[in-house]
Amino acid sequence: MSMSNLERDILLVEDSPGDVILVREALSGLDTPGELHVVHDGGEALDFLKRDGSYADAPVPDLILLDLNLPVMDGREVLREIKDHPEWRTIPVAVLSTSESEDDIQSSYELNANCYIVKPLDMASFRQAMRALNDFWLSVVKFPPKH
């Protein structure tokens, strides 16, 4: 079975409704079957991963798209929690941020982000970035087995 025939779950951690719509739009035109799960702050992201409360049936995501500037718990703290957790650390985390700050980029990689993407400002560029992310992480990459 080829990778592209597998159902993939993407967890988007994003507090901006506009950016959620952009990501959903950009991913909607792509071939890879899968589901986009959206949470709006860092606390919800950890609840999703822990399968707490309303997330009891949540899947283990194949990819996490993480905004840095989040309410409740900052994206950096979420990234640290994910990469420190033995069952979550193998989940690829793509930081998706408007920040081009060298400090934000450096700290994200120091916290073991798998990649850092500056959110493109126009839809065509955003769609191209999501296509590249999809093609690489959800079509090319071989994942460890889910637990």
The CATH number of the domain where 128 resides is what? 3.40.50.2300
The answer to whether residues 85 and 111 touch, using CB atoms and an 8 Å cutoff, is no
In-domain check, residue 141: no
Burial class (CB in 10 A: 0-12, 13-18, 19+), 124: exposed
In-domain check, residue 111: yes
Instruction: Check residue 17 and give its pLDDT.
Output: 93
In-domain check, residue 145: no
Burial class (CB in 10 A: 0-12, 13-18, 19+), 31: exposed
What is the total count of domains within the chain?
1
Instruction: Check residue 4 and give its pLDDT.
Output: 43
Burial class (CB in 10 A: 0-12, 13-18, 19+), 17: exposed
**For each of the chain's 147 residues, which pLDDT tens digit applies?**
334 446 789 999 999 998 899 888 888 877 666 789 999 999 999 999 999 999 999 999 999 999 999 988 999 999 999 999 999 999 999 999 999 999 999 999 999 999 999 988 888 888 888 888 888 887 788 877 775
Which residue segment(s) compose the domain that 13 sits in? 3-136
CA separation for the pair 43, 41 (Å, rounded): 6
